[in-house]
Structure 1
């Protein structure tokens, strides 16, 4: 993961993504999926700064939010002090009690850069779920995204949040990896004030897109049955949302 999730820029993430993502709609999407399967005990992996935590805590019997970044969790705890937030690694989940539903939100599977990390995560989730537990996650569709970045290597996303204006200038370059669909992402974050464009920070990270075949194979290897694959648009690019059941 890049600098965006660390102490210096975590607050920028929290501010700018509230303009990128409609978190009310995001929550309703996941809530409806959980309710369709009568689920009540939720673990959200990659909960970030806790933008979904309050709603999950209100509507479900149990909610825990896990994130790798301590800086992001510190913001989450300030925003929603009653929240059950835990610092941890999705590849190595350690819980005494199992969940009936585990979510990985925010396309955070993108940081599983190799198949070992991917399989470790899926196996870890499998262990943390009760029998027939529900596993829901989203990931970037490589078949759509890789051609897209060849035509859109430089792109600007604007955000209006909390009466502030922000801009993210991104440069996407396909890595030379022949085994995985990896993208080198460099971005600069700005705040716009009147005629000024103030640099808030720069970030550089490597992330991964997946084909349906890659994800399907890893899920089957880890003991999951795919119930549904949902094609979903986001503010930046299309994703696949996988709804799976532990077997």
Structure 2
């Protein structure tokens, strides 16, 4: 959990680094246990811890439970990982480049009684496979978030992501929470639905083609058959769950379903009529 080289002023940064370096050297000379210092240098960033109230907000926004596997990218002193296990019952992994911080985190996990549920590893977040996570947390920089974004977007649809303070570029958050002068941002990894699909189902004309244009979780498109072209309205994509509506004259059809790779299927309701089934396959 980190903050920017540019985010702090140059003078404050120099002072923080000098102070942290001096304290670290003094610890080594004295042979004492390493204690993290706010502002200490890291591989890509300096270390500034996320307040626990922000940690809790991130974990509640992601609806973290005991069924989750949380991965904190740049885990610092381990507080997010430990809180995920201690308060929410999740299994959790912290990926941290600084081996001293890994030691501090492991020591804290033992003290808090969650060592059996968490792990800390000394590794580079850009070279480590974290794709088994169901929840990702991070406090990095905008440019580092952007560097991670393609890998995150390739994760399983429905994976939840929370960032302290910084955005993911033009991938707009699904939710933003403000706490004093800080913010927590939340995303759900969307299924990849852009392209052309063959749609079949109750009340659907034969040879109906559905075309979808996708920008992250935002989608638009149309249904096209030999006799008509209907725009998709009220579109919504949340992880692997998709819904949209069409109008043909005064008749509205509401589609909802789930995406699984190259297939989406679900139910459709037309006006006040009975519920039917639909299925689409990617072309």
**TM-score of the superposition, structure 2-length normalised?**
0.44
Q: Comparing both structures, which one devotes a greater share of its residues to helix?
A: 1
Larger of the two Rg values belongs to structure: 2
Query: Which has the higher relative contact order, 1 or 2, with Cα contacts under 8 A spaced 6 or more apart?
Result: 1
**TM-score of the superposition, structure 1-length normalised?**
0.49
